[in-house]
Every structure is written in structure tokens, then in C-alpha cells.
Amino acid sequence: MHDLISSDRRNPTVNAYGPLYGSNEYSSDDMPILDPKTHKVTFFKMPVADPNMPEMFGPPLHPNATLKPIGASAYWGEEKIWSQRANNHNGMFDSKGRVWFAASVRGIDNPAFCKKDSDHPSAKAFPLERSGRQVSMLDPKTMKYSFVDTCFGTHHPQFGYDADDTLWFSGTGPVAGWVNTKVWDQTGDAVKAQGWAPFVLDTNGNGKVDEYTEPGAPAQAGKDMRVAGSGPYAVMPHPTDGSVWYAVNVFAGTPGFMRFDPKTKLSEFYAIPKEGIGVRGGDIDKNGVLWGSGSNGSLISFDRRKCKNPLNGPNATGNHCPEGFAYYKYPGPGFEGFENTSAEASYYTWVDHHNTVGLGENIPISTANLNDGFVAFKDGQMVMLRIPYPLGFFAKGLDGRIDDPNAGWKGRGLWSTSGDRVPWMMEGGKGSKPRAVHIQIRPDPLAK
């Protein structure tokens, strides 16, 4: 169980008291749906457009899972217990209460409209041969499940703040990829509704995309520079200026934050300074400040407004704004020789824009994966939210929902799930199921 979703992050009263939808990546096409009012779980079998497509466990795009077990399990022996094709990684609510998923709808090879010689505008600029996941959408009112075949891969979906309700994705590889859901609603045409563009730095400084050098090639005067690595891991649409940010190169390449401007199709890259080591999942707050789970055992922030050097031009290739970064140590001891850091290995950070949890607005909350819970950063202090049971609680994602804005702390809360591809060092024993968790914070211990 990788994740669950409860509401629209832009308007967290959407789907108030409604069902939550789980994303059981790599394990099963039976998507769990939790009714929080009755505590009952039902399942929706996620279909695919091509029933003859191979099972989707990652390869050739992901090494963490294989079609055949590489060795016997201590619990399951030689039995193959995972079997799925939809490979649902994450879901996201829209303002209409529909749920959009980063899920496979067909095999990895892309259709012709994605490739060279296509007349699709994005394919003309940058053709794509493969995508490991695409997009699907479930309308809970009718339980109609729709396929949106994308040329780019998908991972963590997030809606922008524009009039077109553009849905942005990480996991898109060498490009920024999006689906214009307004066009999709009007036409039902996935080809017309989608677009993508490579990440190009404006190294010649003229404010537009020109001929560019390829990744790894020396810079050339007068040309822009295309950059690539292991691609975007988290996607973060800016709440006000229309830009889209990414945490990039988590697995390979120089880790950092990438900014993409949908109007100019230009990007900016800000490398994590050496002391930060790297970054995993991240989010953006209402002021445009980025927050990410740092590899050095700290919550990393980046504020572009603090940059002193030019944001484009020949020197704006990643190391031009170290002053924009700051670090806030997670709770817990550090490794030997690194006592001033924490051994905490946070997977993802999410920002609570609307005080859905009860700690206030604009509060970054990280998964505290080695502390069995979550940790929030409020007023310069870390607030630990530890889950007492089951021991070994391990979250991948989280979101907040306001069920009743007039009900005080009882009408809001944080939702998450415990589970990973292979649970380890956890209570429960063979066959234990992942658990959904609802965290509500009293304003004081005696609050009713």
C-alpha cells in the first residue's frame, strides 16, 4: 500500500466524510476504498485498456520489483503473491470529487502519436518512446473508470491553480508532463488534453527556448542547455505564479529542485548544496517556499526569493543560489561522526496549506519513517506525531481533510497509511494488511 487520498489539496472540504482511495502499488489491482463512517473496506478492480498487457512490476523502468521472485520468501516460500497491471502509485481528488490516478492503462511502448513524425506539438518538439505509467480517473458518483493514455510516465499527480485545472505529474522522465483536465472534460480526447516539454535552462539568457545542448555536453555560447537525470520525483505547482516545481534526480544525477514555466517552457535548476546531500519527496507552501525530506537527516527548504545571482544566463546551471537553502534537523540521534544531524530517513514532505491537521496553516509535515510516524515543523520546532500501533509504522504519503469546518478539531485531521512494498520489522505477522490512520490534534489535552 503506497498511499491513499482523502480530498482536494486546494480545497480540503471536497469529499467531506467521504471514502478514501488507496494506491496499492506493485501488489494488486484491487484498489481498497475505506468508508470512514462505517470503518468498512470495499474493493474496486482497476481495469486496463489492454487486457493482454504484461504485469507491471517496474522493469525495465524500476529495479525494485521483478516479474518472478528472485528467491524464496521466509513466509510465502515460492508462492507469487503479487499480480497486477494497473500499478496504481498515487491518487488525487479534483474539485468535482473525482479521483485521478497515476496508473498504467497499457504496456510500456508508446503509441505512434507520441513518437517521431507525429503531428502532436509536444512530440514534434520532443518525441517519447515509452511510458511506465499513464493516467486514469474514477468518478465515485457513477464508478465510471476512464483511461487517459499519456506519452510521459506518471508518479505523483498534483493539480495546478489555473482555470484549466491542469494536472501535473512527477515520474515524467526527461520532460515536464501535464493533462489539461478542462480539455479532457470537453472532448474526452487524451491526445488533445496532454502536453510535455523537455527541461531546458535559459543559459543564453534571452528568455525563450532556443537550440540547446544535450545533457552532459559542454556548454556552448548562444545556446540553451537541456538537463536530465533520473527525472522528477515530487511535483509542486506554485499556488500563485503559475510555475511548477519538482524535486529531481533522487536516484541519479545532481539532486535539487527544478522550476518549469508553462508559459515560456523554460526551466531553472537549483542543486542541493553538498551539506544537504540529497532530497526525496517535497512540497511547496503558500508563499512559494519549497520543503523537502533531506538526505542529511533534515527538513530542507528553498526560497527562490533569496537568490542574489541572475536566475538565467551562462552561470545559472545549479550552483548559483546556495543562499536560498536552509536545513532544520529532524528529531533523533545522528550517525557516528555526524552527531549534529539525524539518522531519520524521511521519505516525503507535505505542506498543510489549510490547517487541516490542527497545527496551523502552511505547516510542513514529513513522514518520520524511522520514528514510526510524522514530524511537523511549527514555529521553528519539530513536533513529533508518533503512531503507537502497529510498531514499525511506515508511511509513504499523507494528506489532510476538513470534514466539518465548524466542528473544531473533531472536524479535521491528517490521513495516511502504513505500508511499503515489503513490510519489515513490523507487528502483525504473515498476511498483515496495511492500515489507514487518522490523526486529529486537540488544541489542549482537555478539549472536547
For the structural domain made of 3-201+227-439, what CATH number should be given? 2.130.10.10
pLDDT of residue 300: 98
Only one residue has cell 522493469, namely: 59
- In the structure, what pLDDT confidence band is assigned to residue 427 with cuts at 50, 70 and 90? confident
Mean pLDDT, all residues of the chain = 93
Indicate whether 182 pLDDT > 90: yes
- Comparing 99-103, 129-133, 336-340, which segment has the lowest mean pLDDT? 336-340
b/e 241-278 (16+ beta carbons within 10 angstroms → b): eebbbbbbbbeeeebbbbbbbbeebbbbbbbbbeebeb
The pairing of strands 256-260 and 363-368 is: unpaired
Q: What pLDDT is stored for residue 82 in this prediction?
A: 80
Residue 88 cell numbers, joined: 496504481
Peptide bond into 322 cis (omega under 30): no
Integer angstrom CA distances of residue 354 from 100, 141, 357, 396: 21, 26, 8, 21
pLDDT in tens, 345-395: 999 999 999 999 999 999 999 999 999 999 999 999 999 999 988 788 899
What pLDDT, on a 0 to 100 scale, did the predictor assign at position 371? Answer: 92
- Write down the pLDDT at residue 26: 81
Residue 429's pLDDT is: 76
Q: 433 pLDDT exceeds 80?
A: yes
Average pLDDT on 306-312 reads 97
Residue 60's pLDDT band, with cuts at 50, 70 and 90, is: low
Region of poorest pLDDT, from 27-36, 202-211, 395-404, 419-428: 419-428
The pLDDT score that the predictor gives to residue 423 is: 62
- Between 434 and 212, residue with greater pLDDT: 212
Rg (CA), the chain: 21
- Per-residue pLDDT averaged across 279-305, rounded? 97
Whether the CB-CB separation of 271 and 258 falls below 8 Å is answered with no
Instruction: Give pLDDT, residue 448.
Output: 83
Q: How many CB atoms lie within 10 A of CB 198?
A: 21
Grid cell digits, residue 391: 510498531
What's the pTM? 0.95
Task: Flag whether pLDDT at 297 surpasses 90.
Answer: yes
User: What is the mean predicted confidence (pLDDT) over 165-177?
Assistant: 96
For the segment 120-140, the average pLDDT, to the nearest whole number, is 96
Q: What is the pLDDT of residue 426?
A: 75
